[in-house]
Structure 1
Amino acid sequence: MHRHKASWLTRERAFSAFATGPLLDFWRTREEREFTGVGNLTLRYVRFTAPKHKRVILIVPGRIESYVKYPELAYDLFHCGYDVVILDHRGQGRSDRLLEDPHRGHVMEFSHYVDDLETLYLQEIVTGHYQQRYALAHSMGGAILTLFLARQPQAFHAAALIAPMFGIALPLPTFLATRILDWAEKRPAMRDAYAMGTGRWRANPFGENHLTHSVERYRRNVRFYSDDPALRVGGPTYHWVREGVHAGKSIISQAEQITTPMLLLQSSEDEVVDNRAQDLFCDLMREAGHPCEGGKPRVIKGAYHEILFEKDAMRAEALHAVTDFFQRHR
């Protein structure tokens, strides 16, 4: 395991050889499964298991993401001794879509994401009879997981939130954005349309991205969506944004109910989510007597939003923080 962790700092040097060799071999061992979510939608997930593993990590991805994007993280966690389960949320990845235009990021109610996660947890995690259960969530997945933990604070031995979406970085002042979202909500054609400034998926060049500084990981991720049009999701609808804003407010209001040991990693250069909401969440957790690890977000300096797809040094710092944290909560 120590040799495996050492590779985290040098992987980009020969990333292509790693991705087409050991990582591809690992990906071929996956089990792709499905279950029925709210509204009879078919939701898909993938798992990597080994008989010797007694611990599991449930990975909850962010908006537009698919488990197809996560083999490297699964590979690293698997080789640290964990089974790994990764969900494709409703409306994205290989799961069923909700609108005729499959590029529109949409959900009827944000709570449906949480209901789906609970179904997967009961079907896959509880029945696995693991000695330890952990969860790791990114961005929108962080909001979904946190709302689930407000329902079931004993579900996991510990949880790691990676740049969680407790507040969205909106292009307008909050009061104005709220007014526009409420106006659109009353007009079905607008409600389900792409939010201002967004549209269908397109492959942006690396230089235009503000998600990661890693050329290798960014280009690999874009290639997944370029090669498989069925995976593509573009901008969110006005309704999705409104639901996301309300979800953030709900998380803040329920912070004191969440007692699961929690590590929160924050990107210092995040342009997708509002870091102030993460700071407030940790303040509320601390005041309630069950603080986040360290009492505040752990900042990954220099990182953009996708910390676990960042350059080796930042990614390794985050992965060490996560695995060390889980190791302390057995």
Structure 2
Amino acid sequence: MTEHNWYLCTESRLEQQFTNYIAPFWQEHVRLGSFQGNADIRVSYAYCVPEQAKQSVLISSGRIESLLKYKEVIYELYRNGFAVFVLDHRGQGLSGRMTVNPHQGYVDDFQHYVDDMCHFIDEIVTPQQRGALNLLCHSMGSAIGALTILQRPTQFNRVVFGSPMFGIRPALPEWLAKVLIGVNRCANWLLPGSSGYFFGQRDYHADDFMVNRLTSSEIRYQLFRNLYAEQPEIQLGGVTPQWLAAASAAMWKVEQHAQQITLPALVFGAGEDTVVDNKRQQRVVANMPDAEYILVEGARHELLIETDTIRQPVMKCIFDFFSREF
């Protein structure tokens, strides 16, 4: 196998890299746009295509995320010769909301996410694509990505699932989760002044770095929170019972049909993840015919914004995986 010297950003120079390289790159090379998805919801997207690109990567991001949060990852992919495509899932980021309160995480059915992804591929990605199309997924985006693969099994060359949401924590029995979701939906409907959130959820709130569950990298965490403070329109809070019901159905479908995800898959689990259920994650991946599972010890949920010691080996593995010829 050919040894690659991949370009990667570093924590020690990250603020300088954002100012001197990533910000100008974003202005000069990244094209932004939107389309009207199902139920006339606006779906925002971005893409960039280097002149010598030989392969393409479609990013399926996690819950609460915006494509703006992926500037470092997109810049690295571009610098390493990949055409990059990313959309903001409906209900979050720069895309349109479906509830009066824009902070509520809401969707009726994950199929709407999949429909948006397929429309994006057909109308935006395919005309600009260079070489094979790979799929890079994080968390909720992994459930969406897996469902898209099940619907279009020959669309992608390879897939990377990072901290995939194939199960969430706390890992409740299916019957109990359904009861809680049902009770909460009734309470939201019957009680005047109800928040509309699932029990214990609330509007966007920026946790202090010392108590965050997402990353051990203080600089990357702070850049993420600064972005959301500077652009409050991309802020998103907790989930509604409708989203939880849709997520539960989506995860069940992925688990039941995991053996049909036959393309080469590289799956990273975060050893210190307190967001998704690693046991269920491993059970699902074990049923994928051509999947390699790597548990990243010491990592929190967001591998793509972790410390260099965790993140750089993961990114190198991703680039190597997407670059394999066979």
Q: Same fold (TM over 0.5)?
A: yes
1:132 shift after superposition: 1.2
Aligned partner of 1:203 in structure 2 is 206
- Larger mean CA deviation between 50-59 and 266-275 belongs to 50-59
Name the SS for the 2:287 alignment partner.
Answer: helix
1:130-189 deviations in whole A, cap 9, x for unaligned? 321111010000000000001111101101111110011127565433211123345662
Please say if residues 170 and 177 of structure 1, whose CA atoms lie closer than 8 Å, have aligned partners that are also in contact.
no
Output the amino acid matched with 1:318: V
Rounded Cα–Cα distance in structure 2 between residues aligned with 1:281 and 1:177: 19
Aligned partner of 1:301 in structure 2 is 297
Output the amino acid matched with 2:98: L
Structure 1 length normalisation: TM-score? 0.92
| Mapped pair 1:137 → 2:137 | yes
Alignment of 1:240-255 (within 5 A): 240-255=243-258
Output the amino acid matched with 2:19: T
1:18 shift after superposition: 1.5
Partner of residue 194 from structure 1, selected from 178, 197, 221: 197
Aligned partner of 1:47 in structure 2 is 47
Aligned partner of 2:290 in structure 1 is 291
Output the amino acid matched with 1:266: G
1:251-273 deviations in whole A, cap 9, x for unaligned? 00111211121111110011111
Name the SS for the 1:226 alignment partner.
Answer: helix
- Larger mean CA deviation between 237-246 and 123-132 belongs to 123-132
- Larger mean CA deviation between 41-50 and 176-185 belongs to 176-185
Alignment of 1:1-330 (within 5 A): 4-5=6-7, 7-8=8-9, 11-29=10-28, 30-170=30-170, 174-186=174-186, 189=189, 193-285=196-288, 290-293=289-292, 297-329=293-325
Rounded Cα–Cα distance in structure 1 between residues aligned with 2:265 and 2:27: 32
1:192 shift after superposition: 7.8
Please say if residues 91 and 98 of structure 1, whose CA atoms lie closer than 8 Å, have aligned partners that are also in contact.
yes
Rounded Cα–Cα distance in structure 2 between residues aligned with 1:197 and 1:234: 11
- Larger mean CA deviation between 138-147 and 253-262 belongs to 253-262
Output the amino acid matched with 1:314: I
Matched pairs, number: 320
Q: 1:111 to 1:263 in 2, by over 3 A?
A: same
Name the SS for the 1:100 alignment partner.
Answer: coil
Rounded Cα–Cα distance in structure 2 between residues aligned with 1:67 and 1:101: 21
Please say if residues 107 and 243 of structure 2, whose CA atoms lie closer than 8 Å, have aligned partners that are also in contact.
yes
Structure 2, gaps ≥5 residues long: none
Runs of 4+ in 1 over 6 A off after TM superposition: none
1:117 shift after superposition: 0.6
Please say if residues 195 and 238 of structure 1, whose CA atoms lie closer than 8 Å, have aligned partners that are also in contact.
yes
Rounded Cα–Cα distance in structure 2 between residues aligned with 1:329 and 1:147: 25
Output the amino acid matched with 1:310: E
Please say if residues 58 and 86 of structure 1, whose CA atoms lie closer than 8 Å, have aligned partners that are also in contact.
yes
Name the SS for the 1:84 alignment partner.
Answer: strand
Q: 1:129 to 1:217 in 2, by over 3 A?
A: closer
Taking only aligned residues, the RMSD between alpha carbons, in angstroms, comes to 1.9
Structure 1, gaps ≥5 residues long: none
Please say if residues 49 and 128 of structure 2, whose CA atoms lie closer than 8 Å, have aligned partners that are also in contact.
no
Rounded Cα–Cα distance in structure 2 between residues aligned with 1:322 and 1:2: 12
1:129 shift after superposition: 4.7
